[in-house]
């Protein structure tokens, strides 16, 4: 169940973020100049910071807690090379961000929090607000736990960035290194190291089916001439339900016939469901019902990896193309009725 932060807790977060603004880290760092901060011994729990605003109009800091979250950042940086949409990459982000923007960027709730604290902002790039990003959901206001965590993360960042400036540290960011700052649990000691980023590209795995009987049955299915297009895509419409503590942006797992453009299978996934697993199951259902398609077309390596084993076992041609014309036309027609 969602718990909201108190005004006192919000005030502490706004205070530390306001102090960071005076340091203007976006005048020193690009968004790919990554800071990592570790307060324990588990490297996978490193907190990563990407500073926004140098060379652009969006000023802020995005905070990724741990390797899994940082992997979602790598998806965003590789969005064009992987041929996935910005909407898909953003719908899979796992981070918290603080922004300095314009008044109209804030929700009514965010403006109310500012008013309750007595803050007064004026002008573009001065309105401070915070957002939480979770895969399968729309960006939303922070809950109490997130407010407390983000306050701690920004306090650590202020310490690390001040140290970075005072010591005039030079990091080879351009060649994939990061500034890794170690803080003792009592915050009495700290030091830094220059280290390679733990990830230099988006990491994804192949979907592997271990049921040998299922694979044998799939292989024996009759061959057909069908050519399919398969994709996962965010719905792009807000779904509010009492079982969610924030508005959902569900993923669609779909199959269309490449020739006719007819939708064969479309499922709207729950935010916590794996849309790629659901897509693979939809292909299995298609094969048992209609037989083996001659070819399956996908637009990116993420979907390709999810279907690769099935296609290889069954002798289906799996082809990655720049654009899925029939799929795009169908999705565009659906979104007209959102």
| Average pLDDT, 10 consecutive residues per value, the chain (338 residues) | 94 97 96 96 96 90 98 96 94 97 93 92 91 96 98 98 97 97 90 96 92 95 96 90 92 95 93 95 97 97 96 97 93 71
User: For residue 136, is it left (φ>0), alpha (ψ between -120 and 50) or beta?
Assistant: left
What's the distance, CA 67 to chain centroid? 12
Look at residue 127 in the predicted model and tell me its pLDDT: 95
Look at residue 335 in the predicted model and tell me its pLDDT: 67
H-run or E-run covering 232: strand 227-234
Determine the Cα–Cα distance for residues 71 and 221; give it in Å rounded to an integer.
Answer: 38
Determine the Cα–Cα distance for residues 275 and 252; give it in Å rounded to an integer.
Answer: 7
Determine the Cα–Cα distance for residues 167 and 159; give it in Å rounded to an integer.
Answer: 12
- For 196, the token pair is 């390679």
Domain 212-335 CATH class label = alpha beta
User: Are 23 and 159 in contact, with CB atoms under 8 Å apart?
Assistant: no
| pTM for this entry | 0.93
Look at residue 205 in the predicted model and tell me its pLDDT: 87
Domain ranges of the chain: 7-196, 212-335
């Amino acid at each position: 169940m969602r718990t909201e932060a108190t005004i006192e807790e919000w005030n502490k977060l706004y205070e530390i973020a306001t102090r960071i603004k005076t340091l203007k880290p976006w005048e020193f760092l690009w968004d790919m100049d990554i800071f990592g901060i570790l307060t324990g011994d588990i490297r996978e729990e490193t907190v990563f910071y990407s500073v926004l605003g140098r060379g652009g109009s969006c000023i802020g800091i995005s905070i990724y807690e741990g390797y899994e979250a940082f992997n979602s950042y790598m998806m965003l940086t590789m969005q064009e090379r992987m041929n996935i949409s910005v909407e898909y990459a953003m719908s899979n982000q796992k981070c918290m961000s603080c922004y300095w923007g314009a008044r109209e960027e804030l929700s009514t709730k965010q403006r109310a929090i500012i008013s309750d604290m007595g803050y007064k902002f004026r002008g573009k790039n001065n309105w401070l607000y915070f957002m939480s990003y979770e895969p399968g959901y729309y960006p939303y206001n922070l809950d109490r736990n997130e407010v407390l965590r983000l306050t701690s993360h920004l306090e650590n960042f202020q310490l690390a960035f001040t140290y970075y400036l005072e010591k005039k540290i030079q990091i080879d960011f351009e060649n994939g290194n990061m500034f890794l700052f170690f803080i003792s649990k009592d915050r009495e000691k700290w030091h830094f190291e220059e280290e390679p980023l733990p990830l230099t590209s988006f990491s994804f795995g192949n979907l592997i089916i271990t049921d040998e009987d299922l694979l044998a049955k799939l292989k024996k299915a009759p061959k057909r001439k069908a050519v399919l297009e398969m994709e996962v895509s965010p719905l792009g419409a807000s779904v509010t339900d009492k079982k969610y503590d924030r508005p959902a942006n569900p993923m669609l797992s779909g199959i269309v016939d490449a020739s006719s453009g007819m939708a064969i299978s479309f499922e709207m996934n729950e935010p916590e469901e794996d849309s790629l697993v659901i897509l693979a199951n939809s292909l299995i259902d298609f094969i048992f019902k209609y037989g083996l398609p001659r070819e399956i077309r996908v637009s990116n390596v993420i979907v390709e990896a999810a279907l690769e084993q099935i296609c290889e076992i069954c002798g289906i041609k799996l082809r990655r193309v720049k654009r899925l014309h029939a799929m795009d036309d169908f999705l565009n027609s659906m979104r007209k009725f959102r």
